[in-house]
Amino acid sequence: MTSKQGIQPEDLYHLKSVADPQLSPDGTEVIYVETRIDEKKKDYISNLFYIHLKDRTPKQWTFGEDRTSSPVWSPDGSQIAFLSTRTGQPQIHVLSKAGGEAKQVTHCKNGASSPVWSPCGKKIAFSVKLGKDESILDKVEDEKKEEKEVKPLEIDKMKHKSDAGGFLDLEQFTHIAIVDLESGELEQVTEGNEHFHLDTWSPNGQYLTYLADKAEDLDFSFNIDIFLLNVETKETRQLTQGTGMYYQTSWSPNSRFISYVGSEREFENATQAKLWVYDLQDNVLTCITGEFDAPIGDFAIGDFLQGVVTPRVQWLNDNKSFYFQVTDHGNAAIYFGNIEGEIYPAIHDDQYVYGFSLDAQQDKAVVAISTTTNPGDLFYINLQTGDREQLTSINEEFLKTRTLSVPEAIEFEGAEGWKVNGWIMKPVGYEAGNKYPLVLEIHGGPHAMYANTYFNEFQILAAQGFAVLYTNPRGSHGYGQTFVDAVRGDYGGNDYQDLMAAVDYTLEHYDFIDQDRLGVTGGSYGGFMTNWIVGHTNRFKAAVTQRSISNWISFYGVSDIGYYFTDWQIQAGFDDIEKLWHHSPLKYVDNVETPLLILHGEKDYRCPIEQAEQLFIALKHRKKETKFVRFPEANHELSRSGKPMLRINRLEYIRDWFVKYI
- Per-residue burial over 14-32, b if 16 or more Cβ lie within 10 Å, else e, is bbbbbbbbbbbeebebbbb
d(CA 333, CA 387): 16
User: What DSSP string describes 365-384?
Assistant: EEEEEEETTEEEEEEEEETT
Single out the residue of 145, 94, 86, 77 nearest to residue 111, CA to CA. Answer: 86
* Position 146 pLDDT exceeds 60: no
User: What DSSP string describes 45-87?
Assistant: EEEEEEEETTT---EE----SS-EEEEEE-TTSSEEEEEE-TT
**Cβ count within 10 A of residue 623:** 7
What are φ and ψ of residue 565, in 5° steps? -65, -40
Active site residues: 524, 636
d(CA 189, CA 639): 39
What's the residue count for the chain? 662
Q: CA 27: distance to chain centroid?
A: 28
Q: Which helix (H) or strand (E) holds 30?
A: strand 29-38
pLDDT the model gives residue 4: 87
d(CA 326, CA 335): 7
Single out the residue of 487, 609, 590 nearest to residue 545, CA to CA. Answer: 609
Per-residue DSSP letter, 238: E
Terminal Cα distance for the chain, rounded: 29
* Position 264 pLDDT exceeds 80: yes
**Cβ count within 10 A of residue 79:** 20
Peptide bond between residue 446 and the one before it cis (omega within 30 degrees of 0)? yes
Q: Read off the pLDDT of each residue in 274-301 and give the average, rounded to a whole number.
A: 97
* Position 1 pLDDT exceeds 50: no
pLDDT the model gives residue 99: 83
Q: Which helix (H) or strand (E) holds 181?
A: none
Instruction: Return the percent helix, strand and coil in the chain, to nearest 5.
Output: 20, 35, 45
| 3-state SS, residue 207 | strand
Do the Cβ atoms of 395 and 374 come closer than 8 Å? yes
Q: In Å, how far are 234, 403, 584 from 532, measured between CA atoms?
A: 54, 34, 8
**What residues pair up with 473 in beta bridges, in sequence order?**
none
Q: 329-333 long-range contacts, Cβ below 8 Å, gap at least 24?
A: 329/421, 329/478, 329/479, 330/409, 330/421, 330/423, 330/449, 330/450, 330/451, 330/452, 330/472, 330/478, 331/451, 331/452, 331/478, 332/298, 332/299, 332/300, 332/451
> Which residues are CB-neighbours of 377 under 8 A, at least 6 positions away?
18, 368, 369, 370, 390, 391, 392, 393, 394, 395
**Cβ count within 10 A of residue 139:** 10
pLDDT the model gives residue 3: 72
pLDDT tens readout for residues 478-524:
999 999 999 999 999 999 999 999 999 999 999 999 999 999 999 99
> Which residues are CB-neighbours of 64 under 8 A, at least 6 positions away?
45, 47, 84, 86
* Position 145 pLDDT exceeds 60: no
* Position 547 pLDDT exceeds 70: yes
> Which residues are CB-neighbours of 368 under 8 A, at least 6 positions away?
18, 19, 20, 21, 32, 308, 353, 354, 355, 356, 376, 377, 378, 379
**Cβ count within 10 A of residue 132:** 10
Q: Read off the pLDDT of each residue in 602-620 and give the average, rounded to a whole number.
A: 98
pLDDT the model gives residue 140: 77
Single out the residue of 333, 311, 335 nearest to residue 323, CA to CA. Answer: 335
**Cβ count within 10 A of residue 415:** 19
Q: In percent, how much of the chain has pLDDT > 70?
A: 99
Q: Residue 640, CB half-sphere, CA atoms under 13 Å: how many?
A: 18
Q: Residue 573, CB half-sphere, CA atoms under 13 Å: how many?
A: 7
pLDDT the model gives residue 167: 94
What are φ and ψ of residue 399, in 5° steps? -70, -15
Single out the residue of 15, 18, 73, 28 nearest to residue 49, CA to CA. Answer: 18
**What residues pair up with 345 in beta bridges, in sequence order?**
335
Q: Residue 95, CB half-sphere, CA atoms under 13 Å: how many?
A: 23
Q: CA 57: distance to chain centroid?
A: 29
Q: Read off the pLDDT of each residue in 633-638 and give the average, rounded to a whole number.
A: 97
d(CA 621, CA 70): 50
| 3-state SS, residue 415 | helix
What pTM did the predictor assign? 0.96
pLDDT bin (cut points 50, 70, 90) of residue 142 is low
Domains and CATH numbers, the chain: 289-393 (no CATH), 404-661 (3.40.50.1820)
**Cβ count within 10 A of residue 349:** 14
Q: Read off the pLDDT of each residue in 626-633 and give the average, rounded to a whole number.
A: 98
What are φ and ψ of residue 452, in 5° steps? -75, 70
pLDDT the model gives residue 147: 64
3-state secondary structure 84-112: ECCCCCCEEEEEECCCCCCEECCCECCCE
* Position 105 pLDDT exceeds 70: yes
| 3-state SS, residue 532 | helix
pLDDT the model gives residue 25: 97
In 494-533, beta strands by DSSP E: 513-523
Do the Cβ atoms of 29 and 51 come closer than 8 Å? yes
Do the Cβ atoms of 609 and 163 come closer than 8 Å? no
- Sheet with 236-238, edge to edge strand ranges: 197-201, 207-212, 225-230, 236-238
User: What DSSP string describes 115-180?
Assistant: EEE-TTSSEEEEEEEE-TT--TTPBPPPTTSPPPPP-------S--EETTTEE--TT-EEEEEEEE
